[in-house]
Structure formats: structure tokens, C-alpha cells
Amino acid sequence: MQATATIEAGPAQQSYALPRTEGPPEPVQAPDAPPQWRDLGLSSMSAMLVVSLSRAGSRSFQAVCQWPRWHPLNEHSLAVTHHPLIIVESTRQLAALAESRYLPATDTTPLRPTSVALGTDPETQPVETGGATDVAVRVTTSDLAVRSGRLTGYRITAEYFHAGRRFGVCSMVFATTSHAVQEPGAGTLTSLLHPAAPAVGAAADPDVLLARAPQGRLVIVPRDPTHPVLLHGNPRELPLHAVLEAGRQATLLYQGRPASAVVGLAAQLRGPVPCRGAVIDVAPEENGARFLVTAEGRDVASGTVTLSGA
């Protein structure tokens, strides 16, 4: 079976099939100095997923990631299939390292991810029964936008390999953003009912991002407002990877499918998404669903979830 993900942002749509015949990237040169957790915008070394990154061409790189079995988002079981957001976070960390070492300098306003798409092949994803999974990564950067000698945007694409087989690909677009997020007023988020973690494909209740409002609408209200992965650093607005996770959870809730059915995810920010109170609607499609996030009557994010055998 092949899985396909579509990038909705950027100058052209791209889709990725995941053939199982292609081998892992060949090492081109010795890795550069090991990354430091501060280089990746992390609060501690325990959150690091990237082990090394080295240049393979003018816009291509080879990398190694290590994914701990006991990552906070993973199921706590004897055999663990890693949560898809680990691919997204690895790609973000690779982008941060590439920015600091290889790409043109950015302006004072930091670049942030504005769209993301990933596809996975459930038949080739690694299953971890030990301590951690070592993953080889082929990384490319493209669509670099430079203004007055400063980097203002780019796309990074990361292909993930394990045991010689490609099992996932993630593409992320970075750009400058300047938003003013508006939180809902006091008293507008009361009498909420959170779904159980298994109903939304979450490993534990603190990972649940959704709640049902009294009027029946599904809203984004994280059960853990300081979640170490989804809301790292107590952000003022919901980061892109958390929007992606909210769309994944909402689709699984509506479709009644297990987390293992997800083979593709995509999301695009259109404006600031408040950390609490945004409404998320799901529209079923032939191969999954499309979701739309609204806040104060405005469309602020959208995305798709692709399901196997849907």
C-alpha cells in the first residue's frame, strides 16, 4: 500500500508516494558537530530528536534522528509505533539546525512553520520494542525567499528511512508571521466535555486537545494547557503541529477509526489560532476528511487527514 500526502501551501502542490524499493541515503561526508538542544529551540536535551546533520549538496543534507520509545506522545505498550507528530517535530528540529548552520541569516523576526504535510506507509513504519529507533533522513531545502540579503521563507522536505526502507516524508514551509491572537472572553468556555483519549487516537488524557461545547460544537481546548510537546513554552497561539494534531483527533473522533488508520496529514495556517476556544469542523471525504478551524468567525486554519481503507 502507498500513502500520499499533499502540500497545500507554496507555489505548487506536491504529492508524495512512498515506494518500499528505495534504499536509505548514502553518507556523503562525516557529520558536522553534534547539535546542541539550544540550537533547536528546545528547553532541555531530553526533547532532542536530531542526532546529526551534514551537507550532501548545495541544498541537500543527510541526517540521523533518534526517536525514544517513551516519547510523551507515544502509546505506553511493549511494541510502539511512533506518533506521526514525531516526524513533524523532527522536521522542525532539522529546519532549525539547517537555518543556524547552512541557510542565509534571517531578519529579527523569526521564521515560523506555516504549512506542513506528511505521508506514512503503515507497512514499513518501524515498531520499537527497545529503547529508541535510529532513523536515517534525507533532507532538502527549496523555494528560498531572500529579501535584502535576509532569508524570509523556505521549504524543507525530509524523507525518513529505517532498515533500508522509506516509511515517511514530511514537508514544511517556513515564513515570517505577525499575528495578534485573541482569546475567548471569560465564561465562554464552560460545561465542556472532553472525549476519552482512545476516541481521538491519543495515548493519554493530557494529550487530548478537543472538547464538546454545550451547543454541540467541537472546540479546541487542551486538557493540559502546558503540554510539554503540543504547547511547549506556553505559547500565545496554537502552533502548527498542535493544529495538525487537533485535526487528526477530530477526524478520528468523527470517523470512529483507530490512530493506526492515519496515513497522511496536512495543515495550513491562515491566521492566529487561539490556544482555547477555536471551533473545528470536519467534513468527510472519500479517503479521509477535511477540517476547518475558525476563531471569532474567521477561517484561521485548514487541513486534511488521509485514512487507509477509508
Of the candidates 202, 221, 198, the one whose C-alpha atom is nearest the C-alpha of residue 293 is 221
Residue with cell string 529507533 = 133
Q: Mean pLDDT across the stretch 210-214?
A: 91
Can you tell me the mean pLDDT for 188-202?
Answer: 88
Percent with pLDDT over 70 in the chain:
84
Q: For residues 206-218, b (16+ Cβ closer than 10 Å) or e, as one string?
A: bbbbbbbbeeeeb
pLDDT tens string 272-296: 999 999 999 999 999 999 999 999 8
Q: Answer with the residue of higher pLDDT: 23 or 55.
A: 55
- Give the tens place of pLDDT for each residue, 126-175: 999 999 999 999 999 999 898 888 899 999 999 999 999 999 999 999 99
Name the region of 234 (left: φ>0; alpha: ψ -120 to 50; beta: rest): left
* Residue listed under C-alpha cell 470512529: 256
Can you give the pTM of this predicted structure? 0.86
Residue 262 has pLDDT above 80, yes or no: yes
- For residue 24, is pLDDT > 80? no
∠ CA 120-121-127 to the nearest 5 degrees?
95
How far is Cα of residue 76 from the mean position of the Cα atoms in its chain? 20
Q: What is the mean pLDDT of residues 11-24?
A: 42
Please tell me the chain's helix, strand, coil percentages from 3-state DSSP, rounded to the nearest 5: 15, 40, 45
Q: What's the pLDDT band for 118 if we cut at 50, 70, 90?
A: very high
For helices 84-101 and 240-255, the axis angle rounded to 10 degrees is 170
Helix (H) or strand (E) holding 61: strand 60-68
Which pLDDT score is estimated for 149? Answer: 84
pLDDT band at residue 82 using 50, 70 and 90 as cut-offs: very high
